[in-house]
């Protein structure tokens, strides 16, 4: 019986991977994360500190039936989100300690799927060659994606299993309590401005730039394909919704979801704007009967500042994935409306 191990199972990608693989007939799923998730009929979770190599090896030693590894763990750096790619040691350790332990524990391992992203092309540093292709040269300077894929490809040589690498862009999913997602950034920002009686003004400089995103559900579909299709062995793929947009064309639909008037763009740092808003958020939770999520755990404001200030085109080419058999696509405008409406319906925001 195939068994998938999802590393980072409580994140904005990982929880979708758990759901996708658990829905496949005959599959078992094990989720690894610091926070232990809820077990189900064919899903169990292990709380583990993957920064500790010995602890990881000990706790994962029993996973002798693991056939697939989906690596979606991430350790953000401090400061600006654009600098997170420099956080090499912590993110490399997550991969090395988990995959090394699972390789040792299971003789049945078939495929390791590593999730990286378009920072591989320097999308976080400024204008880059677009649409970026998987075989484009790496940007100059440090990037933990490079260290991860270099380690994985070297470690895999001579092994019984193969790897695949997925490069999504700005994952969007319904993951309350998981800060590294664009959806809660928009939802909480809109809710606070509405509570203050302010119109919904775009807060960055990327108003007219071309941009792309990846629905977490689509990324999970791609992970299933990458884990099971022989064509994906030892290959990297860009994975996005398949369309491009400009914020100036999406923002009116977002304002409509929150029943708010729009204003002209007002570039300002969300980190600074939100610095004193925790008491307001606590009051809103009580006033509107929202789910009791802490202000400091629901949104990563540096991530919002990063996304909304990429005032250059962010575009990747997904032709390779289509040629190799993955044809999933999502309408990004519909996705924003659907996910933001769900945040309201489930009382994450009013």
Q: What is the pLDDT of residues 39-63, one digit of tens each?
A: 788 999 999 999 999 999 999 999 9
Token reading at 149: 């894929």
46 burial class (0-12, 13-18, 19+ CB within 10 angstroms)? middle
The number of domains in the chain is 2
The domain containing residue 307 runs over which residues?
A: 173-212+244-314+327-345
Mean pLDDT of 201-205: 98
CA distance 88 to 303: 18
Q: Cβ neighbours of residue 182 under 8 Å, at least 6 residues apart? A: 170, 171, 172, 213, 303, 304, 307
Confidence at 297, pLDDT banded by 50, 70, 90:
confident
In a domain, 322, yes or no: no
| pLDDT number for residue 101 | 97
Does the pLDDT of residue 81 top 70, yes or no? no
11: phi then psi, degrees, rounded to nearest 5: -85, 180
Residue 182: pLDDT band by 50, 70, 90 thresholds? very high
Answer whether residue 226 is part of any domain. Answer: yes
Query: Are residues 123 and 202 both part of a single domain?
Result: no
- 51 located within any domain: yes
Please check whether residues 135 and 13 belong to one and the same domain.
Answer: yes
Task: Give the contacts of 20 (CB within 8 A, at least 6 positions apart).
Answer: 220, 221, 223, 224
Give yes or no for a contact between 7 and 70, defined as CB atoms under 8 angstroms apart. yes
Residue 105 to residue 223: CA distance in whole angstroms: 22
For residues 151 and 278, state if they share a domain. Answer: no
What is the Cα gyration radius of the chain? 20
Tell me, yes or no, whether 321 lies in a domain: no
Q: Which two tokens stand for residue 15?
A: 């929880």
Q: What is the average pLDDT across 289-303?
A: 91
How far apart (Å, rounded) are the C-alpha atoms in residues 56 and 114? 18
One domain for residues 219 and 253: no
Q: Are residues 234 and 256 in the same domain?
A: no
Residue 166 sits in the same domain as residue 40: yes
Residue 308 resides in a domain: yes
Phi and psi at residue 113, to the nearest 5°: -105, 120
- The tokens for 51 are 């920064």
Q: What is the pLDDT of residue 174?
A: 82
Please name the residue that has the structure tokens 């590294």: 180
pLDDT digits (tens, 9 = 90+) for 248-264: 999 999 999 999 999 99
66 occurs within a structural domain: yes
Largest CA distance in the chain: 62
Q: In which element (H, E) is residue 227 found?
A: helix 216-228
- Does residue 333 share a domain with residue 221? no
CATH number reported for the structural domain that contains residue 15 in this entry: 3.40.50.720
pLDDT on residue 192: 98
Whether residues 41 and 163 fall in one domain: yes
Residue 271 has pLDDT above 80, yes or no: yes
On the CB side of 238, CA atoms within 13 Å amount to 27
**Per-residue confidence at 179, pLDDT binned at 50, 70, 90?**
low
Please give the pLDDT value at position 12: 84
Q: Are residues 71 and 10 part of one domain?
A: yes
pLDDT for position 86:
85
Model confidence band, residue 74 (pLDDT cutoffs 50, 70, 90): confident
Q: How confident is the model at residue 287 (pLDDT cuts 50, 70, 90)?
A: very high
Band (36; pLDDT cuts 50, 70, 90) = confident
pLDDT of residue 236: 98
Phi, psi (degrees; rounded to nearest 5) at 27: -100, 145
Share of the chain above pLDDT 90, in %: 88
What's the per-residue H, E or C state across the chain? CCEEEEECCCCCCHHHHHHHHHCCCCCEEEEEECCCCCCECCEEEEECCCCCHHHHHHHHCCCCCCCEEEECCCCCCCCCHHHHHHCHHHHHHHHHHHHHHHHHHCCCCCEEEEECCHHHHCCCCCCCCCCECCCCCCCCCCCHHHHHHHHHHHHHCCCCCEEEEEEECCEECCCCCCCCCHHHHHHHHHHHHHHCCCCECCCCCCCCCEECCEEHHHHHHHHHHHHHCHHHCCEEEEECCCCCEEHHHHHHHHHHHCCCCECCCCCCCHHHHCCCCHHHHHHHHHHHCCCCCCHHHHCCHHHHHHHHCCCCCCCECCHHHHHCCCCCCCCHHHHHHHHHHHHHHCCCCC
91 shares its domain with 188: no
CB 123 within 8 A of CB 310: yes
- pLDDT tens digit sequence for 100-159: 999 999 999 999 999 999 999 999 999 999 999 999 999 999 999 999 999 999 999 999
- pLDDT, residue 178, reads 66
pLDDT tens for 143-177 read 999 999 999 999 999 999 999 999 999 999 887 66
Asked if 231 and 307 sit in the same domain, the reply is no
Tell whether 350 is covered by a domain. Answer: no
Report if residue 264 sits inside a domain. Answer: yes
Q: Please say which residue of 223, 239, 255 terminates a domain.
A: 239
Residues 292 and 273 in one domain: yes
Indicate the Cα dihedral angle 131, 135, 141, 146, nearest 10°.
Answer: 120
Of the pLDDT bands very low, low, confident and very high (cuts 50, 70, 90), residue 343 is very high
pLDDT tens for 209-252 read 999 999 999 999 999 999 999 999 999 999 999 999 999 999 99
pLDDT value at 75 more than 90: no
């Amino acid at each position: 019986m195939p068994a998938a191990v999802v590393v980072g199972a409580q994140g904005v990608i990982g929880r979708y991977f758990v759901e996708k693989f658990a829905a496949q007939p005959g599959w078992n799923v094990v989720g690894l994360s610091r926070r232990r998730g809820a077990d189900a009929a064919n899903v169990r979770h292990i709380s583990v500190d993957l920064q500790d190599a010995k602890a990881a090896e000990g706790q994962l030693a029993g996973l002798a039936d693991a056939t697939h590894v989906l690596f979606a763990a991430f350790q953000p750096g401090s400061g600006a989100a654009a600098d997170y790619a420099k956080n090499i040691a912590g993110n490399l350790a997550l991969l090395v300690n988990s995959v090394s332990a699972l390789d040792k524990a299971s003789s049945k391992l078939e495929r390791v799927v590593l999730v990286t992203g378009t920072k591989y092309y320097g999308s976080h540093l400024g204008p880059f060659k677009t649409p970026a292709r998987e075989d484009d040269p790496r940007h100059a300077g440090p990037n933990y994606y490079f260290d991860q894929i270099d380690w994985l490809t070297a470690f895999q040589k001579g092994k019984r299993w193969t790897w695949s690498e997925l490069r999504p862009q700005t994952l969007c999913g319904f993951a309350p309590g998981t800060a590294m997602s664009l959806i809660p950034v928009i939802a909480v920002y809109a809710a606070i401005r509405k509570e203050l009686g302010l119109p919904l003004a775009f807060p960055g400089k990327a108003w007219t730039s071309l941009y792309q995103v990846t629905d977490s559900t689509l990324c999970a579909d791609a992970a299933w394909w990458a884990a099971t299709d022989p064509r994906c062995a030892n290959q990297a793929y860009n994975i996005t919704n398949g369309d491009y947009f400009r914020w100036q064309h999406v923002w009116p639909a977002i304002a409509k979801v929150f029943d708010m008037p729009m204003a002209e763009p007002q570039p300002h740092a969300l980190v600074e704007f939100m610095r004193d808003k925790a008491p307001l958020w606590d009051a809103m939770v009580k006033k509107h009967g929202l789910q009791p999520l802490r202000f400091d755990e629901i949104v990563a404001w540096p991530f919002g500042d990063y996304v909304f200030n990429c005032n250059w085109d962010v575009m990747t080419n997904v032709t390779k994935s289509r040629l190799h058999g993955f044809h999933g696509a999502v309408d990004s405008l519909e996705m924003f409306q659907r996910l933001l409406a769900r945040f309201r319906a489930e009382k994450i925001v009013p």
